[in-house]
């Protein structure tokens, strides 16, 4: 009998305990500390439906500003990567810095330079572009209307007197280290953009800052003499006069002058060894490739980034094509010579 009473009491106990336990489990709990909010007690509720037993717990639930670390209550700003910021002042510290004015800006323009991508604020991006480095800047105006920045103007090649020693140094490096040189006696001229445009063929106008010209002049002579029998004899002969000329635009920075000069000297090399190649993409791609190698020799390897990204179908695609051919072999020139022979017509 006692055992039955005990079992009955046990059933009654669990019958009362389980509903109470279920009620407790469904009670309001603080989203931070997990404590149950007692009936009649004050509590806070957030807009997303969470409950907090105190102001202290509520403030602990607030997000932190990604810059200053303060708790953010109310409105906030959200960055591109999902970070939260308490104010415009804090989010502005994450904005990119303008490469020209050095101020941080929310928006602007990304321009590809010889050193990679550069960011410019809207104001600076609208400034004139330097003809030498292609970057927006506070520029000076040259006599022919070209704009040049102060940085490029510092070491700009302005006269043939200054240019010739540098040209000879470029030719020496091409001969001794790159084996791309010729022994031609080349005449050089520094011109403004208008005169260079007048000399340039239509398909190349405005694309380059230099021009290579090969002019072949044939002089025919006739010698007349009378032999011992009184008969007049005529002997004809031809003299071929080969003229090599390179025209370069003045006021290029020293770095740009080296690149452009190497480009034009590469045309001289191709004229000597593969004169039958007429494909402009091959000719200009080769010239850009040689210029890239000379850039490396002068410590200007970053300038080659422009070539690699150049979207131009002749210069950019041509450079990448020639570079690809060169990299097919451990000896780049072996691959290039085979390629040039196959494309000589």
Tokens standing for residue 101: 């004015």
Tokens standing for residue 211: 């021009």
Residues 6+ apart with CB under 8 A from 258: 166, 170, 294, 295, 298, 300
- Series of mean pLDDT values for 10-residue runs along the chain (345 residues): 54 44 59 79 77 83 83 77 83 88 91 84 94 94 94 96 96 94 93 90 64 80 68 68 93 96 96 94 96 96 90 94 93 94 90
DSSP codes joined into one string, 248-275:
EETTB-HHHHHHHHHHHHHHHHHHHH-T
DSSP codes joined into one string, 141-173:
E-TTS-EEEHHHHHT-B-SHHHHHHHHHHHHHH
CA–CA distance, 151 with 137 (Å, rounded to integer): 9
Measured torsion, CA atoms of residues 306, 312, 318, 320, in degrees rounded to the nearest 10: 40
Tokens standing for residue 185: 């006696």
Tokens standing for residue 19: 């509903």
Give the burial class of 12: count Cβ atoms within 10 A of its Cβ; 0-12 exposed, 13-18 middle, 19 or more buried. Answer: exposed
Other C-beta atoms closer than 10 Å to the C-beta of 131 total 21
pLDDT at position 87: 82
Which residue blocks in the chain are alpha helix, DSSP H? 2-25, 55-61, 88-92, 122-125, 150-154, 160-173, 193-199, 254-273, 280-297, 304-309, 315-326, 332-342
CA–CA distance, 85 with 75 (Å, rounded to integer): 9
pLDDT at position 202: 64
pLDDT at position 275: 94
Q: Which DSSP symbol is given to 54? A: S
Give the strand pairing for 232-249 and 186-191: parallel
Task: With 0.75 as the threshold, say if the pTM is over it.
Answer: no
Contact (CB, 8 A) for 71 and 92 = no
Give the burial class of 207: count Cβ atoms within 10 A of its Cβ; 0-12 exposed, 13-18 middle, 19 or more buried. Answer: exposed
| 71: β partners | 64
């Amino acid at each position: 009998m006692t055992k039955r009473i005990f079992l009955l009491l046990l059933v009654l106990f669990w019958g009362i305990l389980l509903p109470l336990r279920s009620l407790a489990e469904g009670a309001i709990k603080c989203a931070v500390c997990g404590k149950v909010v007692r009936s009649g007690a004050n509590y806070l509720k957030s807009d997303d439906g969470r409950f907090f037993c105190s102001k202290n717990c509520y403030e602990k639930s607030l997000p932190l500003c990604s810059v200053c670390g303060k708790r953010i209550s109310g409105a906030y700003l959200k960055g591109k990567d999902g970070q939260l910021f308490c104010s415009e002042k804090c989010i502005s510290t994450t904005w990119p810095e303008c490469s020209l004015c050095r101020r941080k800006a929310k928006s602007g323009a990304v321009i590809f330079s010889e050193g990679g991508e550069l960011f410019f604020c809207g104001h600076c991006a609208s400034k004139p572009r330097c003809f030498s480095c292609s970057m927006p800047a506070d520029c000076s105006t040259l006599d022919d209307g070209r704009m040049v920045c102060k940085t490029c103007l510092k070491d700009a090649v302005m006269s043939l007197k200054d240019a010739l020693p540098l040209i000879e140094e470029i030719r020496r490096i091409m001969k001794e280290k790159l084996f791309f040189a010729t022994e031609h006696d080349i005449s050089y001229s520094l011109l403004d953009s208008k005169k260079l445009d007048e000399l340039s063929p239509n398909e190349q106008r405005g694309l380059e800052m230099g021009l290579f010209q090969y002019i072949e002049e044939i002089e025919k002579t006739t010698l007349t003499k009378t032999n011992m029998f009184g008969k007049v004899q005529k002997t004809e002969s031809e003299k071929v006069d080969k003229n090599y000329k390179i025209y370069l635009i003045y006021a290029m920075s020293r770095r740009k002058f080296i690149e452009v000069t190497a480009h034009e000297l590469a045309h001289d090399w191709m004229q000597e060894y593969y004169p039958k190649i007429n494909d402009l993409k091959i000719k200009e791609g080769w010239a850009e490739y040689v210029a890239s190698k000379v850039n490396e020799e002068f410590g200007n390897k970053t300038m080659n980034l422009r070539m690699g990204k150049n979207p131009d179908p002749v210069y950019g695609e041509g450079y990448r094509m020639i570079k690809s051919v060169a990299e097919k072999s451990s000896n780049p020139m072996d691959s290039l010579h085979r390629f040039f022979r196959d494309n000589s017509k």
